[in-house]
Amino acid sequence: MKNVFLRIIDGELPCDKVFENERILAFKDIAPAAPVHILIIPKKSIPNIVSVGKEDAALLGEMILVANQLAHEFHIQDGFRLLTNNGKNAGQIIDHLHLHLIGGKQLGPIA
Ligand code: 5GP
C-alpha cells in the first residue's frame, strides 16, 4: 500500500504546498513543531537515508538547496534546523525520505 507521502505526490491527498518541481515537493507539516515546519520530499520513492545510493547524490543536494531557498522565503535563515529521522528508533513514522525544515522560534536540544 502507498504511504501518505506517495499519496500526496500523486495528488490523492491534499497538502499545503510551498515548493514543487519535477523532482521535489515541499509542504507544511500537518502537526507543526514550530511556527515554520516544512517537509521536503523527493518524488522518487526512497524510504530513508540508509536507502539512498550514489545515483541520488544530486537529488539530495537539490533538496538542501530547496531548504535554503525556503528558509529565506519564510525568513528563518538566521536560525533553523534541517533534519531527517531514519528508522523507528529515530521516530520515523513515514517510510518516505523527508527533510524537516523547522524554525521560527528558539529551538531546544535535539534529543
Ligand atoms: P517522521 O517522524 O516520519 O520523521 O515525520 C513525519 C511527519 O509527517 C510528522 O511531522 C507528521 O506530522 C507529518 N505528517 C504525517 N502525515 C501527514 C499528512 O498527511 N500531511 C502532512 N502535511 N504532514 C503529515
Q: Which residues are bridge partners to 27 per DSSP?
A: 17, 39
Evaluate whether residue 35 is within a structural domain. yes
Q: For ligand 1, atom 2, which residue shows the shortest CA distance?
A: 92
For residue 28, is it within any domain? yes
Give me the number of domains the chain comprises.
1
Closest atom of ligand 1 to CA, residue 27? 22
Residues with CB under 6 A from ligand 1: 4, 13, 15, 27-31, 39, 85, 91-94
Residues tagged active-site: 98
Q: What spacing in Å lies between the alpha carbon of 24 and ligand 1's midpoint?
A: 16
**Which residue range(s) make up the domain with 52?**
4-103
Query: Would you state the pLDDT for residue 102?
Result: 98
Residues 73 and 111: beta-carbon distance below 8 Å: no
Residue-level pLDDT at 1: 84
Residue 109 lies in a domain: no
* Residue 68 and residue 59 in contact, taking contact as beta carbons nearer than 8 Å: no
Query: Which is the closest atom of ligand 1 to the Cα of 16?
Result: 22
The CATH number that applies at residue 14 is 3.30.428.10
Nearest one of 25, 84, 28, 24 to 58, comparing CA atoms: 24
pTM for this prediction? 0.98
Per-residue pLDDT of the chain (111 residues; tens, 9 = 90+): 899 999 999 999 999 999 999 999 999 999 999 999 999 999 999 999 999 999 999 999 999 999 999 999 999 999 999 999 999 999 999 999 999 999 999 999 998
